[in-house]
Amino acid sequence: MGSIYGDESVVSWDGQDSTSGHEEKIFVAVRLRPLNDRELAKNDVSDWECINNTTIIFKNTLHERSMLPTAYAFDRVFGNDSPTKQVYEEAAKKIVLSVLSGMNSTIFAYGQTSSGKTYTMTGITEYTLADIFDYISNHQERDFILKFSAMEIYNELVKDLLCSDGTPLRLLDDPERGTVVDKLTEVVLRDFNHLKELLSTCETQRQIGETTLNELSSRSHQILRLTVESEAREYVGALNSSTLTASVNFVDLAGSERASQTLSAGTRLKEGCHINRSLLTLGTVIRKLSKGRNGHIPYRDSKLTRILQSSLGGNARTAIICTMSPAHTHLEQSRNTLLFASCAKQVSTSAQVNVVMSEKALVKQLQRELARLENELRNLSSLSASGGSTSALKEKELLIEKMDKEMKELIHQRDLAQSRVQDMLRSSSTSKSWVDMNNSHEKGSWTDEYPASEASEIIDPLRFDVASRTSYISDKYEGAINPSRIEDQFLEHNEEQFLSDDTSPRLYIDKYFGPDPCKGWEKMAHVTDKGFEDNCKEVQCIDIDFTKSNMGSSESSPQKADPASGYTMQSPCSSDIEVSDTSLDIPRSRSCAAIMITVEKSPSLEAAKEKENENRLQNEADNQEKLSTVESVEKSENLSTKESQSPIMNENIKTLREDSMEKKHEDCVKELSEVIKPKSTPEPVKQVEDDFVRMIKPEPVKQVEDNSVRMIKPEPVKQVEDNFVRMIKPEPVKQVEKDYVRMNKPEPVKQVEDDLMTKPGSVKQVIDDSKEMKDAKTPNEPEKTADYGSPKAEEKNQYVSDWYTEFERQRRDIIELWNACNIPLVHRTYFFLLFKGDPSDAVYMEVELRRLSFLKNTLHGVRIVKDDQFFTQASSLKALNREREMLSKRMLKKFSAKEREALFQKWGIYLKSKQRRLQLCRRLWTDITNMERINESAAIVAKLVGFKEPGQAPKEMFGLSYSPDPTNLRSSSWRHSLPM
Ligand SMILES: Nc1ncnc2c1ncn2[C@@H]1O[C@H](COP(=O)(O)OP(=O)(O)OP(=O)(O)O)[C@@H](O)[C@H]1O
């Protein structure tokens, strides 16, 4: 008897958790009735016999030549002496009383005409109702409502058995309740007697006809329906009250019949046709369901199957009691019944508790559900706000913006640095050129060699603007002398002038770095040498020109040429560029060269300093010379009129007088080093370049775009599909195979061996220690014995003991993994016997553990992708079962009958059971927690396979040289089954 646990709980009749839907097969029982008087009168014989509770056999095999089965097994079979009460208790009660648990249930009586369906079903209905009423009276804590309805399907018309007008009822399809019989009378039962009255009404109403086989043959399918609603009394009207509601159907089918047997005609024949047709549909539904739910199930082909759809593979617990006549004359019908029963046995239903909540409870629950959903929605939105695609994009945009700013700043700094470099170089070169030029001028040599006409021809195409250039250069010159002004000059300087000026830092960048400044640093390394040399030359030329113009002015009006001196102040005198460049052979500023080397090769700071020192030494020598030159200029200054000197020149001379060239060079180098220091080492430059490329090139944007596209476009699906295809395609298997092969190759063994033998605290160490301990224990060597028991010896002892604990642990792991990976038993045995607990086993164990762990993971993966290809190749259950079969065959040869019997007894195998050897082999290596069983398994397999010296496994077996007595392994499949 079940129990009720209060509100929202259910009655459990069979110990199952009935609150959730569970799938179960239809319960099928067969009931054999006794031969009836008519059959006895005809001397009919009984063909069938129930040999136990579940099996019914065909007795008269002599009369039956067919190949049809002679024995049938069902959930329960009842012989002709079984009373209906027993049938109810053992085959129906559990199912029908599920109605009290809130689960729908149905009990069918199926069988040929006159086989005892009505007889059985009437009894079952009464017993059920009696039990239900009994239950209700014993459970006053619940409030029950019972409703009863009854219908029959006669000639494919649905009739209400509780209504006498005989009007056929319509079937309606309800989306929630399925097929319902429209306007079917439903009576609320007052008590058991009320029900009995109703049952009697039904009996009267039901179509009964006389046939030659049954005087009171039911000519219709009858469905009696009892609906049980229950509610815990203490919760009635409460907010959390709920009602269990379910129906039980008692279905007494019309009997299948053969017209020839029933000798029916007219009305009976017509009834028979309808009966057979609807039963045929029922049979088809059952047969189709028994083969799975593939394809169309013809529920709607008959009203019977349509009404009872929920009981046929639906959500009602179902039992079918097939009634049979044992008479030989009904053999064919009996066989059909058994065939139907066999099919029905394969059909599953999935019943669940129907809980109807009170309106208040429903509102409360809906409110709770609403709150939960709202909460989820909130979480989702906050999640998307914090980590969603929009925020990710925004974050990236911000990052890009930030990096963009940084890059701009870096570029700006670099520009400044370059400008400073140039200015310094120019000022340095100018000073030197200017001094040199003065020296040359003093010598009066260069203008003679290069006439003005030639110079003019060269300068014209350059459209050299002497005035602006002079002004600019003078400014820059000042800047070079006063580095603090450089930046201001660049900022203040006219943009156009910058662009037209090929000494402009911007053009310089364009020229040497290209439009993408990020490439500059590298490109610069290739072109600087020549480029900078050219640039320096230009600077020199300009300086020369400037110097020349100023020098000229000291002698005459700037508008007039002085043929004597060769000054051509009216026309651009850049012809002298060439002159200065070539004929004067002015040495390029060493400081310029040094600086460029620093930039060009991006050496380390130390290297730069080294070069700086080098330059300083060189410059010291140069400056000595320059200072003397300045002195000579000073001298000449005294000789010429003071007014003839330009203020700039005066300033220059003044500055040169105040600052030595060495100081200037030092300043240049120092400043340059400071400016370019962070970029002088290759890494930051590369980093800047990489960052820049990442930030300002189209790629990052593209990347962001791609990312966003990936997030919102259908491609992800494609990607997922691709991944999936990649997952389930043979490729991963191939990879897995490769990995597997790699794992099984001798290399890892070697590696593990090496590790274990060479590492400190290694196996070798343990072996040595244990040997040492063994030696220490030798009684013949007292001095060693003396050491035994000392702290050192105890430590060693502990060490060795730890090793054995570890050994046991590893061995257990391996055994577990063997089982998990379906490793062949022969392999297990060989290894198991190999492990003697010697520390040198560690190598084998470690390799085996690694291999198995890998295999287990792999198999796990393979199972996920359901790729049997690798699975079977690696270690499949199928292969293992094959191995067990083969081992079982060898038992005859390897074990005597006595030994086998002893083994069967030891392993709990019933001596009279079939396939005892196979049973035994199927148990080998299965109880992995029982070491005794494992030991026995190993011993049995070893004997079956014929290991000669199982403990003496060569380590080569880790390769492919596994050879456990080839004479005993004739079948190649044995070797094939080995995973190595
Ligand atoms: N197990 C049984 N023990 C004794 N008598 C039985 C048993 N089963 C059926 N009978 C008797 O056999 C006869 C036919 O039974 P019943 O009417 O139940 O058959 P049925 O299968 O319902 O037939 P139909 O399909 O024609 O209605 C009845 O007289 C009934 O009393």
pLDDT at 84: 96
Q: Which of 37, 214, 261 to mutate to test the pocket of ligand 1 (most atoms within 8 A of CB)?
A: 214
* 287 pLDDT higher than 60: yes
Atom 12 of ligand 1, residue of closest alpha carbon: 116
Higher pLDDT, 46 or 658: 46
Q: Return d(Cα 300, Cα 767) in angstroms, integer.
A: 80
Integer angstrom CA distances of residue 368 from 243, 382, 762: 19, 21, 62
Helices (H) and strands (E) in the chain, counts: 39, 20
pLDDT at 920: 92
Q: For residue 213, give the ligand 1 atom closest to its CA.
A: 26
Q: Return d(Cα 129, Cα 226) in angstroms, integer.
A: 9
Q: Return d(Cα 60, Cα 499) in angstroms, integer.
A: 117
* 151 pLDDT higher than 80: yes
Report the 10 Å Cβ neighbour count for 369: 10
Q: Return d(Cα 725, Cα 730) in angstroms, integer.
A: 9
pLDDT at 836: 74
| Beta bridge partner(s), residue 323 | 31, 111
* 193 pLDDT higher than 70: yes
pLDDT at 949: 52
What confidence tier does 254 reach under pLDDT thresholds 50, 70, 90? confident
Strand 22-25 to 348-351 pairing: antiparallel
What confidence tier does 969 reach under pLDDT thresholds 50, 70, 90? very low
pLDDT at 826: 84
Q: Find the 289 Cα to ligand 1 centroid distance in Å.
A: 29
Residues in the chain: 980
Quote the strand ranges of 580-704, DSSP E. Answer: none
Name the token pair of 546. Answer: 């400037």
- Tell me which amino acid residue 60 is: N
On the CB side of 855, how many CA atoms lie within 13 Å of its CA? Answer: 27
Q: For residue 323, give the ligand 1 atom closest to its CA.
A: 21
Atom 3 of ligand 1, residue of closest alpha carbon: 33
Q: Find the 134 Cα to ligand 1 centroid distance in Å.
A: 28
Q: Which of 82, 114, 263 to mutate to test the pocket of ligand 1 (most atoms within 8 A of CB)?
A: 114
Q: Return d(Cα 962, Cα 980) in angstroms, integer.
A: 8
**Ligand 1, pocket residues at CB < 6 Å:** 33-34, 36, 111, 113-119, 214, 216-218, 254-255, 323
Q: Find the 65 Cα to ligand 1 centroid distance in Å.
A: 29
What confidence tier does 212 reach under pLDDT thresholds 50, 70, 90? low
Give the DSSP per-residue string, 190-205: -SHHHHHHHHHHHHHH
Residue list for the binding site for ATP: 111-118
Q: For residue 113, give the ligand 1 atom closest to its CA.
A: 25
Asked whether the beta carbons of 205 and 164 are under 8 A apart, the reply is yes
| Of 508, 239, 228, nearest in space to 354 by CA | 228
Q: Which of 119, 256, 257, 263 to mutate to test the pocket of ligand 1 (most atoms within 8 A of CB)?
A: 119
Asked whether the beta carbons of 4 and 141 are under 8 A apart, the reply is yes
pLDDT tens-digit profile of 395-434?
Answer: 888 888 888 888 888 888 888 887 877 777 776 555 444 4
Looking at every residue in the chain, the average pLDDT score rounds to: 66
Q: Which of 31, 46, 77, 118 to mutate to test the pocket of ligand 1 (most atoms within 8 A of CB)?
A: 118
Q: Find the 191 Cα to ligand 1 centroid distance in Å.
A: 28
* 642 pLDDT higher than 60: no
pLDDT at 118: 92
- Among 161-175, 451-465, 710-724, the range scoring the smallest mean pLDDT is 451-465
What confidence tier does 565 reach under pLDDT thresholds 50, 70, 90? very low
Q: Find the 114 Cα to ligand 1 centroid distance in Å.
A: 5
pTM: 0.43
Q: What angle do CA 186, 190, 194 make, to 5 degrees?
A: 80
Name the token pair of 334. Answer: 């009996």
Q: Percent of the chain, pLDDT > 90?
A: 18
